[in-house]
């Protein structure tokens, strides 16, 4: 199982192309003309979205897990 992460967007780099949303296997990202939305509960931590971003606008932060 992949590490739980929170995807973070650099809004100065992101131009809302939708490439990240298009490759997410769990549909954890939606891109709209006004911005993007990340659904943490759907994310499996695969980082495919981060690797797909053509401008490197996405990064991963560890998600603190409450025990």
Per-domain residue ranges of the chain: 5-62
Instruction: Report how far apart, in Å, the C-alpha atoms of 10 and of each of 29, 47, 60, 65 are.
Output: 15, 16, 11, 24
Alpha carbons 20 and 55: distance in angstroms, whole number: 11
Instruction: With 0.75 as the threshold, say if the pTM is over it.
Output: yes
CATH code for the domain defined by 5-62? 3.30.70.20
Query: What per-residue confidence (pLDDT) applies to 64?
Result: 75
Provide the sign of the torsion angle of the four alpha carbons 33, 37, 42, 45, taken in this order.
positive
pLDDT, tens digit, for every residue of 15-48?
999 999 999 999 999 999 989 999 999 999 999 9
């Amino acid at each position: 199982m992949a590490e739980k992460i929170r995807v973070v967007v650099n809004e100065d780099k992101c131009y809302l192309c939708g490439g990240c949303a298009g490759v997410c296997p769990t549909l954890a990202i939606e891109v709209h003309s006004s911005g993007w939305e990340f659904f943490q509960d759907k994310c499996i931590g695969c980082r495919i979205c981060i690797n797909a971003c053509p401008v490197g606008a996405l990064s991963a932060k560890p998600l603190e897990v409450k025990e």
